[in-house]
Amino acid sequence: MSAVRLHGVKVPHRKTTAGSTPVRMGVPSVVTIPMSMHIGVPAEPVVKPGDQVKVGQLVAVAKGAVSSPVYSSVSGKVKKIDDMLMSNGRFMKAVTIEPDGAQELYEGLAAPEVSDYASFIAAVRESGVVGLGGAGFPTAVKLDVKDLTKIEAVIVNGAECEPYVTSDTRTMLDDTELVWDGVQLLRKYLNAKRVVIAIEDNKPECIRTFKGLAQGNSGVEVVSMPSLYPQGGEKVLIYNVLGKIVPEGGLPIDVGAIVINCTTLAAIAKYIEKGIPLIEKCVTVDGSAVKEPKNVIVPIGTPVSEVFDFCGGFKEEPRKILYGGPMMGIALPGMDYPIMKNNNAILAFGERDAVTPEPTACIRCGSCIESCPLNLMPTEFAEAYENRDVDRLRKLKVNLCMECGCCSYACPAKRPLVQTNRLAKALLTKDIAEKKAQAASAAAKKDEREEVASK
């Protein structure tokens, strides 16, 4: 490991809530549960306005291969089902429930019967668990490997490299048994011969805890990783742990790897042991505007405003609110947005931390290239994008960009490089779609001409 030069950036940790044991929040005044809190096809509601629901009751079924079911986090009455504007600018159907305060468990909850690989994957699918580190990819799809012999190693991601965020740290410390039970489930049903628990070295207590559990357990190892952002990125972690590069357009399994977040793993174990689907999240609440930073266990669908109120409100007017960490988080246009499955933090920043510095001219220093974990060339992306040169963007492999923000962070000129990368990827995607449409139209016209000629 020491012989390999690791790319990335040293970011301030600011993990002031690492020692904050999660506090359970009370029942919110309302929950709004979007049908898409995951990558893939949105779930489809199976309830209607006026229906009474209980905690853990199914409110939406998964649709398609890449999707995830949705469960109620409260007991109460379905108030409405309509479209809501999501933080990404798209409209999505959402189920709004008015809690009754009783928090009565749905009587149909029961631990699933898991006896083999197929029933294990079915249980993971029914749990509603998606990537809880922020990605939101349906976990059942990730673990559904056609040929289990291809799995060389499963990496449990405990890096948590974003500043401020400590919810995964608390999972490893407070739900240690669930994480460890999850490791055993992976070994048993995925026949994983090697499980690597990867934790950044700024979490020594987590490392000690799991090294103690792994001692004497052949096939399970704990690796202390350098605290270097974006250590927790899937492709970065695979390279730094296994020394393997996931090919362009490929998946981790193509190099014999599966990566699963530690909190995701704990949620799977909880469902298999107790039959409780994913209905709540531990989120870190922090930032310069927050009066009482802490980790909070929150019912999914709770408005972020009520979570901030639970943390004492604000000590100054928040000028920017984020889902997730400051490097890859998504800015929210308001505080009525709900806590979703894949939220690991909500951060609020005051004026000083929220102001974006004015960019100046690129000085061609190469800091962005030096910091990129995937050895890409953000300056070249920017030039190609400005010239609308899609062929060059393709050759430069802009689609490999994971939008981690290292380039923007390292840039002394404060250029909006990661935002430009995102726009460049969208331009390339649009070009590909247009060329496919043109090819399809040309093929249809050709078929039409041949049909006419044959008559």
Pair (121, 270) in one structural domain: yes
- Give the domain range for residue 270: 117-274
Q: How far is CA 228 from the centre of its chain?
A: 19
Pair (249, 372) in one structural domain: no
For residue range 91-122, what is the model confidence (pLDDT) as tens digits? 999 999 999 999 999 999 999 999 999 999 99
pLDDT of residue 374 exceeding 90, the answer is: yes
Distances from the Cα of 128 to the Cαs of 37, 70, 122, 306, 413, in angstroms? 10, 6, 11, 24, 43
The lowest-confidence range among 83-92, 289-298, 351-360, 364-373 is: 83-92
Sheet holding 58-61, edge to edge: 44-45, 58-61, 70-71
Tokens of 270: 């909880």
The verdict on residue 1 lying in a domain is no
Distances from the Cα of 451 to the Cαs of 96, 151, 437, 440, 455, in angstroms? 53, 50, 21, 16, 7
The closest of 227, 156, 229, 151 to 191, measured between CA atoms, is 151
pLDDT of residue 350 exceeding 70, the answer is: yes
The verdict on residue 294 lying in a domain is no
The verdict on residue 125 lying in a domain is yes
Q: How confident is the model at residue 445 (pLDDT cuts 50, 70, 90)?
A: confident
Pair (130, 236) in one structural domain: yes
The verdict on residue 244 lying in a domain is yes
pLDDT of residue 1: 35
**Domain CATH for 215:** 3.40.50.11540
Pair (138, 247) in one structural domain: yes
Pair (129, 266) in one structural domain: yes
Task: Give the total number of structural domains in the chain.
Answer: 2
72-104 exposure pattern, b = at least 16 Cβ within 10 A, e = fewer: bbbbbebeebeebebbeeeeebbbbbebeeeeb
CA distance 73 to 146: 33
pLDDT of residue 4 exceeding 50, the answer is: no
- Of the residues 238, 256, 274, the one at which a domain ends: 274
pLDDT of residue 6: 64
CA distance 359 to 207: 40
pLDDT of residue 228: 95
Q: What is the DSSP letter of 35?
A: S
The verdict on residue 233 lying in a domain is yes
Pair (246, 371) in one structural domain: no
- Of the residues 244, 274, 304, the one at which a domain ends: 274
Q: How confident is the model at residue 2 (pLDDT cuts 50, 70, 90)?
A: very low
Indicate the average pLDDT of the chain: 94
pLDDT of residue 49: 98
Q: What is the DSSP letter of 66?
A: S
The verdict on residue 325 lying in a domain is no
Q: What is the DSSP string of 333-380?
A: S-S-PBP-TT--EEEEE-HHHHPPPPP-------HHHHH-TT---HHH
Residues with Cβ within 8 Å of 287's Cβ and at least 6 positions away in sequence, in order, are: 164, 293, 318, 322, 347, 348, 349, 353
- Of the residues 236, 254, 274, the one at which a domain ends: 274
The verdict on residue 448 lying in a domain is no
Pair (246, 372) in one structural domain: no
pLDDT of residue 136: 87
Tokens of 25: 């929040």
Q: What is the DSSP string of 82-149?
A: EEEE-TTS-EEEEEEEEE-S--PBPTT-------SHHHHHHHHHHHT-B-TTTT--BHHHHH--S-GG
For residue range 117-131, what is the model confidence (pLDDT) as tens digits? 999 999 999 999 999
pLDDT of residue 3 exceeding 70, the answer is: no
The verdict on residue 31 lying in a domain is no
